[in-house]
Amino acid sequence: MNELDEIEGAGTGAGTGVGTEGGTPEGEQGAAPAGEFRSGFAALVGRPNVGKSTLLNALVGEKLSIVTPRPQTTRHRIIGIVNMPQVQIAFVDTPGLHRGETRGLNRAMNRAASSALDDCDLCVFVVEAMRWSKQDTFVLDRIKLSNRPAMAVVNKVDGVHPKGLLLPYLAELGARHEFVEVVPISALKSDNLEALTKAIARQLPVAPAMFPPEDKTDKSERFRIAESIREKLTMELNQEVPYGIAVEVERIADGEDGQVDVDATIWVDREGQKPIVIGPKGERLKRVGRSARMELNRLLGRRLHLTLWVKVRENWADNARSLKELGLE
């Protein structure tokens, strides 16, 4: 049973009574009138670490976007496509919007998040249950500026006990903006996601599907390989280094026995980071390669032979040309 059933009406749209102006009457939920197809872009927007990428993966049912306990893991706009009867939702995962960024990479990430927001049909504002910070205010102000309809999604409710504690939080949140709905969920436990997709579907324009029904993402295999390696590496490293890491897949080729040979370079932005990434006797790099390979074998349904190189490109994260070459601009 859905944990959220403890809260009366949680996630049933108009039933929550929190910031639900414009909700549709009972009985019409999620479904367009017969013959009408709805589709559009729903941008997942929020401060770093609220669970946007976890939510994207849970919605699509496949790991498209990497997830780590560290903020600012997502660097690109990643589209994840959800097909339902008469509905196609293209979710756009974005890097977390954050304030006062001077470094090139962070500015590029903010730009990616901002343009996703300005291009979407619905803004899905993700926050963390029971928390509100200046960063959330910053993001909400940006949403207000965009003039897009916005839905508030309160994630990580699995950590709230008893669930009744959520009610005043939901009410406060609902008062901050005219959200089309406020929906509590747990992306990690896949809790209340069906109510969420139905609520989103109601907000999308009547329009034909934008992607073929078999597509799950706009990203290539090459991109997903690079991201998987970056995730495993980020999990291994301490606070400062992950920012200075980029992964570039140099070569994908058919190898022996149906294997796929992949050569990838891990770029670091200072010579001193090289030994950290490689680790004593190369152990760290080996672990990274092994876990990325295992994940990718599963994700791509092919056996990979992965060769990793570590190279230095001084200050790439501040250098416009390097950012462009690494696909980050």
Of 101, 82, 100, 84, nearest to 92 (Cα)?
A: 82
Question: Of residues 67, 139, 249, 326, which one binds ligand GDP by CB under 6 A?
Answer: 67
* Residue 188 binds ligand GDP, judged by CB under 6 A: yes
Q: Using an 8 Å Cβ cutoff, are 263 and 309 in contact?
A: yes
> Using CB distances below 5 to 8 A depending on partner kind, what does residue 49 bind out of Mg ion, ligand GDP, none?
ligand GDP
- Provide the angle, in degrees to the nearest 10, between the axes of the packed helices 104-119 and 134-146: 50
In whole angstroms, give the CA distance from residue 324 to residue 329.
5
* Residue 53 binds ligand GDP, judged by CB under 6 A: yes
* Residue 130 binds ligand GDP, judged by CB under 6 A: no
> Using CB distances below 5 to 8 A depending on partner kind, what does residue 155 bind out of ligand GDP, Mg ion, none?
ligand GDP
Distances (CA, A) of 57 to 98, 178, 187: 22, 27, 9
* Residue 235 binds ligand GDP, judged by CB under 6 A: no
Give residues with Cβ within 8 angstroms of 129, minimum separation 6. 154, 155, 156, 157, 159, 160, 166, 169, 184
- Buried b / exposed e along 33-56 (16+ C-beta atoms within 10 A): eeeeebbbbbbbbbbbbbbbbbbb
Q: Using an 8 Å Cβ cutoff, are 308 and 235 in contact?
A: no
Considering the complex, state which of residue 76 and residue 305 has its C-beta at the smaller distance from Mg ion. 76
Candidates 44-52, 138-146, 275-283, 294-302: pick the segment binding ligand GDP (CB under 6 A).
Answer: 44-52
Considering the complex, state which of residue 187 and residue 317 has its C-beta at the smaller distance from Mg ion. 187
Closest distance of CB 73 from ligand GDP, Å? 5
**Residue 69-108 contact track with ligand GDP, rule CB under 6 A, x = bound:** x---xx---------------------x------------
Closest distance of CB 282 from ligand GDP, Å? 28
Query: Which residues bind to ligand GDP, rule: CB under 6 A?
Result: 46, 48-54, 67-69, 73-74, 96, 155-156, 158-159, 186-188
